[in-house]
Copies of this chain bind each other. A is one copy, B any other.
Amino acid sequence: MRNVICARCVKCGKEYEAVPDLTNCVCGGILDVIYDYDYIKARFTKEQLAARKNPTMWRYRELLPVEETTPDTELRVGWSPLYEAPRLAERLGLKKLWIKDDGVNPTASLKDRASAMAVAKAREAGAKVIACSSTGNAASSLAGNAAAAGLKTYIFVPARAPKGKVAQLMTFGATVISVQGSYEDTFELSKAAIEKWGWYNRNAAINPYLSEGKKTVGLEIMEQLNWQVPDYIAISVGDGCTIAGLWKGLKDLYAIGFIDRLPRLISAQAAGCYPINRAVETGEPWQPMEENTLADSIAVGVPRNADKAIAAIRESGGLTVELTDAEIMAAQKLLGESCGVFGEPAGVTGTAGVKKLLEQGRLPADSTVVCVVTGNGLKDVANAIAARGEPLRCPSDMEKLLEAFAANEIYP
Interface of A toward B, CB cutoff 8 Å: 55, 74-76, 79, 81, 83, 87, 101, 104-108, 129, 143-150, 154, 157, 159, 163-164, 166-168, 170-173, 175-181, 185-186, 188-189, 192-193, 196-197, 199, 332-333, 336-342, 376-379, 381, 384-385, 388-398, 401, 404, 410, 412
A196: min CB distance to chain B, Å: 7
- The answer for the CA separation of A144 and B193 in the assembled complex, in Å, is 43
A384–B171 touching, CB < 8 Å: yes
CB distance from A377 to the nearest CB of B (A): 6
Q: Is the CB of A342 within 8 A of B107?
A: yes
Q: Determine whether the beta carbon of B75 is less than 8 Å from that of A340.
A: yes
Q: How far is the CB of A276 from chain B (nearest CB, A)?
A: 23
In contact, B177 and A401 (Cβ under 8 angstroms) = yes
Q: B106–A340 contact, CB under 8 A?
A: yes
Shortest A219–chain B CB gap in Å is 17
Closest-CB distance, A135 to chain B (whole angstroms): 14
Residues of B within 8 A of A389 (CB): 170
- Report the separation of the CA atoms of residues A76 and B101 in the bound assembly, to the nearest whole angstrom: 10
Which residue of chain B lies nearest to A150 when distances are taken between CB atoms in the complex? B87
Verify A108–B340 contact, CB threshold 8 A.
Answer: no
List the 7 closest A-B pairs by CB distance, nearest first: A173-B337, A148-B340, A171-B336, A185-B396, A176-B391, A164-B381, A378-B378
Most B CB within 10 A of own CB, among A159, A340, A381: A340
Alpha-carbon distance between A75 and B397 when the two chains are bound, in angstroms = 34
B398–A172 CB distance below 8 A? no
Q: Which of these, B105, B171, B379, B404, contacts A337 with CB under 8 Å? A: B171
Question: What's the minimum C-beta distance from A137 to chain B, rounded to whole angstroms?
Answer: 12
Given contacts A74-B340, A168-B378, A180-B395, 10 further A-B contacts (CB under 8 A): A144-B336, A144-B341, A147-B340, A167-B381, A170-B384, A171-B332, A179-B395, A181-B395, A199-B412, A378-B378
Q: How far is the CA of A150 from the CA of B339 in the complex (A)?
A: 8
Instruction: Give which listed residue, B163, B177, B339, B398, contacts A148 with CB less than 8 A.
Output: B339
Chain B CB within 10 Å, residue with most, of A129, A172, A175: A172
Instruction: State which of B83, B193, B332 has its C-beta within 8 Å of the C-beta of A74.
Output: B83
A143 neighbours in B (Cβ, 8 Å): 340
- Complexed CA–CA distance, A369 and B338 (Å): 40
Q: Please indicate the chain B residues that have their CB under 8 angstroms from the CB of A396 in the complex.
A: 179-181, 185-186, 188-189
